Amino acid sequence: MDWTGPLHRIDDYRWQIPKSFRSDMRVPGLIFASERMIAAIKQDQTPVQVANVATLPGIVRYSLAMPDIHWGYGLPIGGVCATDIERGGVVTPGGVGSDINCGVRLIRTNLKVSDLQNKMEELVSGLFFTIPSGLGSKGEIRVIGKDEERVLLEGSEWAVKQGYGVQEDLEATEEGGSLDFANPEMVSQRALERGGKQLGTLGSGNHFLEIQEVVTIYEEKEARGFGLFPGQLTVMIHTGSRGLGYQVCEDYIKVMLDAARKYNISLVDKQLCCAPCESKEGKAYLGAMACAANYAWANRQCLMHLTRKVFERVFGMSFKDLGMELVYDVAHNIGKFETHKIDGAERRLFIHRKGATRAFPEGHPALPEKLKPYGQPAIVPGDMGRASYLLVGTEQGYAETFGTVCHGAGRVMSRTAAIKKGAGRAIDKELKKKGIIVKSAGRETLAEEMPEAYKDIDEVVDVLYRAGIAKKIARMKPLGVIKG
């Protein structure tokens, strides 16, 4: 059934659900999409979720949706919600997502495609057999007790201290690879058990490790600053907090349902269960959420270490000689404390980004000195058969979206529908004909993640660019992919 509520066209790439649509909406909804995309968005019914989010206590400016928007738990995937902490602003686990700090890491190299010399099959196989992947996969890096607590407190820094990286990696990671409000006491024993064996593992579903070629440079200055050039080999890693993050989310949904009743918060959708950020329950969730976020950063750091080891073995050179430097690591299922200008005054906000990526403009004080002249790299992966992008945010985007862009292409087909459509097809062979080598832990995963299951990443990114909220820096195409 199509969305039948009001959806006012502001311009070619902005669509508004007016605050007057429902009496309980505190702010309007704002969706970024092209005219062609908005038809599918209406069919998906995600405008209902955009309107629901607009009812949350303390929400400011808009209930936002990026062009990768599709139906999610509570918030749509591609949703952004900012709440004013001093004015009763709430935190909702549905606004962060179940895979806390699922994110993407982009690694540059000095290698060109011509340097492969028929090594791609060896490289992809080496990565596939070195990196545990798939549902419930377990790695060789085990942490228990105090060791796991340090992971939850220190994030990427813990991994670097163990020899799984270098200091420069932390400088190229959002928040330096850890949130400082993590509180391991707020993490359940079950979550700790699930996380103890999963560091350095890839996970299932849409998680991947991909070898890519830089095919287009759009902005020379920024590309040079990030060490990118045409024909270059890059590596992209996409995964999150594994079972630990999922368990944290599950644990606190129960807590937040009780908290909403306790604080007399009227819920239009129980999946938006929440508590004030400053409440006991809100602080408990935030402490646990930050632990899961830190675990995810440590996980991606360990995966980068394993990736470097495979490249060293295949090419017979150190990762430093190969130029395997981290361009950036971004989170796209996370909540952050940030200060933004609302109605002319600086306000301390809690920003929920679910299936959405931070993209601060050049000069922003939160960026390390190395990145300030260029802006924060925002990594937007596509599907395994098309392309991925590197973007940076703009001043306009910072003012309008709290410095946020989309996290990927966004699904147009459920996993069940994709598996049905992929029945009898050999997706790996179809991709090989396109020059893409794929290895997966299961056939169903390839069907779930087939290119047709996703929106066209070129169109999605074009909406951000033409709306003025992001600049395109580089476009990469896949050459080799491993999936869980």
Task: Return the DSSP state at 361.
Answer: P
* Of the candidate ranges 24-28, 48-52, 138-142, 298-302, the one whose mean pLDDT is the lowest: 138-142
Q: Region 234-247: what's the mean pLDDT?
A: 96
Nearest one of 243, 125, 240, 76 to 481, comparing CA atoms:
125
pLDDT of residue 149: 94
pLDDT of residue 134: 61
Give the pairing type, strands 208-217 and 377-380.
unpaired
- Over residues 373-404, the pLDDT tens digits come to 999 999 999 887 789 999 999 999 999 999 99
- Over residues 15-52, the pLDDT tens digits come to 999 999 999 999 999 999 999 999 889 888 899 999 99
Q: Which residue has the tokens 């990026």?
A: 66
From residue 164, alpha-carbon distances to 157, 158, 188, 273, 360 in Å are 9, 9, 27, 38, 28
- Over residues 181-210, the pLDDT tens digits come to 999 999 999 999 999 888 999 887 788 999
pLDDT at 347 over 80: yes
Q: What three-state secondary structure class fits 77?
A: strand
Q: Region 226-235: what's the mean pLDDT?
A: 98
Burial (Cβ within 10 Å: 0-12, 13-18, ≥19) of residue 467: buried
**Whole-angstrom distance, CA of residue 350 vs CA of residue 359:** 16
pLDDT of residue 412: 66
pLDDT of residue 483: 86
pLDDT of residue 45: 87
Q: Report how many domains make up the chain.
A: 1
Nearest one of 452, 421, 438 to 484, comparing CA atoms:
438
pLDDT of residue 1: 63
* Of the candidate ranges 19-23, 130-134, 138-142, 323-327, the one whose mean pLDDT is the lowest: 138-142
Q: Which residue has the tokens 């991606």?
A: 300
- The contacts of residue 243 (CB under 8 Å, 6+ apart) are 136, 191, 194, 195, 198
pLDDT of residue 303: 96
Active centre residues (catalytic): 407
Which DSSP string corresponds to 168-227?
HHHHTBGGGG--TT--GGGS-HHHHHHHTT-BT---STT-EEEEEEEEEES-HHHHHHTT
Is residue 170 assigned to a domain? yes
Is residue 52 assigned to a domain? yes
138 vs 320, higher pLDDT: 320
The rounded Cα 428 to chain-centroid distance in angstroms is: 25
CATH number at residue 67: 3.90.1860.10
pLDDT of residue 453: 66
Task: Return the DSSP state at 83.
Answer: E
Q: Give the pair of three-digit tokens for residue 208.
A: 């991947």
Is residue 2 assigned to a domain? no
pLDDT of residue 132: 80
pLDDT at 87 over 80: yes
Q: Region 230-243: what's the mean pLDDT?
A: 96
Q: Region 436-448: what's the mean pLDDT?
A: 76
Q: Give the pair of three-digit tokens for residue 47.
A: 């405008």
Output Rg (C-alpha) for the chain, integer angstroms.
Answer: 21
- Cα torsion 131, 137, 138, 140 to 10°: value is -10
A 10 A CB-CB count for 130 gives 16
pLDDT at 414 over 70: no
- The contacts of residue 69 (CB under 8 Å, 6+ apart) are 31, 33, 41, 44, 46, 50, 76, 77, 78, 79, 410
Is residue 351 assigned to a domain? yes
A 10 A CB-CB count for 338 gives 16
Q: Residue 417 — very low, low, confident or very high, per pLDDT cuts 50/70/90?
A: low
pLDDT at 305 over 90: yes
* Bridge partners, 169 (sequence order): none
- The contacts of residue 328 (CB under 8 Å, 6+ apart) are 105, 106, 172, 173, 174, 226, 371, 376, 377, 379
* E strand or H helix that includes residue 250: helix 242-262
Nearest one of 404, 406, 359 to 381, comparing CA atoms:
406
Q: Residue 3 — very low, low, confident or very high, per pLDDT cuts 50/70/90?
A: confident
Q: Which residue has the tokens 């959002």?
A: 174
- The contacts of residue 246 (CB under 8 Å, 6+ apart) are 98, 99, 194
209 vs 435, higher pLDDT: 209
* Bridge partners, 353 (sequence order): 80, 334
A 10 A CB-CB count for 163 gives 8
Nearest one of 393, 444, 391 to 418, comparing CA atoms:
444
Q: Region 144-157: what's the mean pLDDT?
A: 92
Q: Looking at the whole model, is its pTM more than 0.75?
A: yes
Sign of CA dihedral 445, 409, 306, 156: negative
- The mean pLDDT of the chain is 93
240: containing domain: 8-483
* E strand or H helix that includes residue 438: strand 437-440
Q: Residue 141 — very low, low, confident or very high, per pLDDT cuts 50/70/90?
A: confident
pLDDT of residue 440: 84
Count Cα neighbours of 373 within 13 Å in the Cβ-side half-sphere. 8
pLDDT at 136 over 90: no
Q: Give the pair of three-digit tokens for residue 148.
A: 């796991």
Decide: 259 and 273 in contact? Cβ < 8 Å. Answer: yes
Q: Which residue has the tokens 């062979």?
A: 429
- Over residues 330-343, the pLDDT tens digits come to 999 999 999 999 99
Is residue 3 assigned to a domain? no
pLDDT of residue 451: 67
Is residue 442 assigned to a domain? yes
